[in-house]
Amino acid sequence: MSERIYTFPRYELAATVLGLQDKHLKLLAAELPCHVVSRGDTLHVTGDEGTVDALVRVVEELVFLAQAGGVINEQQVNLAISMVKSGKADQLHALFADTLNITVKGRTITPKTEGQKVYVDAIRRNTITFGIGPAGTGKTFLAVTLAAFYLKNHDVEKIILTRPAVEAGEKLGYLPGDLQEKVDPYLRPLYDALHDMFGIEQVQRFMMRGVIEVAPLAYMRGRTLENAFVILDEAQNTTPEQMKMFLTRLGNHSKMVVNGDKTQIDLPGRMTSGLTEAEHVLKGISGIRMVYFNENDVVRHDLVGKIVKAYEVYQEKKSEKEEKDSNPTK
C-alpha cells in the first residue's frame, strides 16, 4: 500500500484538471483504481504503489498542459491515462510540450493524439508528407498550423493551399462568378484554419499580396512552387495524373503536405485515386513520409471515432464478401 499527497501549483489548476464536478478525477480513479480524496488544491491518493505513481504522473502532465495554455478535456485525460499506463509517460510529456502555434485568440495548439504527434514530426523532418486517415483527425488544421508557423518564422515566403474541386468536376468555367467565388465553397475548411491562425483581415491582406494563395488543383499546372509551404487537401479525389502533376511542381526550399481519406473517394466510376496510387509508387523514397491516422486520432465528438470504426468494420466485411462472391469455392 502506498500513499501520496499531490498539491497543485495554483488553486485554479485543480478545478481545470479535475474537471467540472470532478468528472476527470472520477475517470482517473476508474482507470487507475486508487482511493482519491480531493480537498481544495490537494489530492490524497492511496493504493498500489505503481497505480498511485501512475495516477500522480497523469495529473502532473495534465497540469503541465494546462499551464502551457492547452485545453483539458475528456479526450486529453484518456490519452494521458493510456500513454502513462503503457509506459509512454515521457512521450506524453513531449506531446504536451510541443507547441505548434498560437491562434489569434491566444489558444495554444499542441498535438492531441499520438498519431498527430507523429504527423507533425514527419512534416518537420520530411520534404513531402502524406497524412492518410479519416475525417476529424486534424490533418488539415495541423498542416495549416505548421504552415503559418513556417511563414511567421520566415522559413517560407508563401503558403499555397489547394484541393481538387471534384464536386464541380473541376469545370469551374461553367460556374457563375469570378475564380474566388467559384473556389471558396470547396476550400472553406482551409480558410477556417487560416482565420484561426492569422485572423480574417490579415488573411485577406496576405491574399492580396500573394503571400497566401488558395486555388483549385487545376491551377497548379505548369508552375514551380519554390520557397512555399504547399498543402493539398482531399487528395483522395485526385486522379493519378493530377497527383503526379502536383508532386512534380515541388521547387527548392519548399514543403508539401498531402492529406486525404481513402474512404471518401468521390471520383466517378471505378477511377483510380491518385492518393492510393501514390501510396504504392512513392513508398520507401527518402524525404517522403506516409503517416496513417485511425479512429483513436479523431478529435471531434467522442461518437465520431466510434462511427469511423463502425464504417471501417463494415467496409472490411463488405470487401471480404465481394471477394468471396467473385471467387466462389468449388
177-215, pLDDT tens digit by residue? 555 555 556 677 778 889 999 999 999 999 999 999 988
**pLDDT at residue 158 greater than cutoff 70:** yes
- Identify the pLDDT of residue 306: 73
- CATH number of this structure's domain 108-318: 3.40.50.300
Tell me how many degrees the CA angle 263-234-177 measures, rounded to the nearest 5. Answer: 130
**Rounded to whole angstroms, how far apart are CA atoms 246 and 216?**
11
What predicted TM-score, i.e. pTM, was given to this entire model? 0.78
**Rounded to whole angstroms, how far apart are CA atoms 219 and 212?**
15
**Which secondary structure element, helix H or strand E, spans residue 315, and what is its range?**
helix 302-326
- Identify the pLDDT of residue 228: 97
Between 33 and 172, where is the model more confident? 33
Closest by CA position to 257, among listed 162, 136, 151, 157: 162
- Identify the pLDDT of residue 14: 93
Neighbouring C-alpha atoms within 13 Å toward the C-beta of 147? 33
Do residues 158 and 211 touch, judged by C-beta distance below 8 A?
yes
Q: Would you state the CATH architecture of domain 2-97? A: 2-Layer Sandwich (3.30)
pLDDT tens, position by position, 126-144: 999 999 999 889 999 999 9
Q: Confidence class of residue 168 from pLDDT cuts 50, 70 and 90?
A: very low
**Rounded to whole angstroms, how far apart are CA atoms 67 and 268?**
49
3 state SS for 25-47:
HHHHHHHCCCEEEEECCEEEEEE
Q: Confidence class of residue 171 from pLDDT cuts 50, 70 and 90?
A: very low
- Identify the pLDDT of residue 304: 67
- Identify the pLDDT of residue 248: 95
**pLDDT at residue 176 greater than cutoff 50:** no
The mean pLDDT of 237-255, rounded to a whole number, is 95
2-97 matches 108-318 in fold: no
The mean pLDDT of 87-98, rounded to a whole number, is 89
Which SS3 state, helix, strand or coil, does residue 249 take?
A: coil
- Identify the pLDDT of residue 170: 45
pLDDT tens, position by position, 30-59: 999 999 999 999 999 999 999 999 999 999
Do residues 232 and 160 touch, judged by C-beta distance below 8 A?
no
Cell of 88: 509512454
- Identify the pLDDT of residue 175: 46
Do residues 74 and 31 touch, judged by C-beta distance below 8 A?
no
The mean pLDDT of 221-238, rounded to a whole number, is 94
Cell of 103: 491562434
**pLDDT at residue 116 greater than cutoff 60:** yes
The mean pLDDT of 69-74, rounded to a whole number, is 82
Percent of the chain past pLDDT 90, that is, above it, reads: 58
- Identify the pLDDT of residue 5: 95
The mean pLDDT of 76-96, rounded to a whole number, is 90
β-pairing, 108-109 vs 101-102, is antiparallel
**What are the boundaries of each domain within the chain?**
2-97, 108-318
- Identify the pLDDT of residue 24: 94
pLDDT tens, position by position, 270-310: 889 999 999 999 999 999 999 999 888 887 665 666 776 78
Q: Residue 262 CB: number of other CB atoms within 10 A?
A: 14
- Identify the pLDDT of residue 74: 87
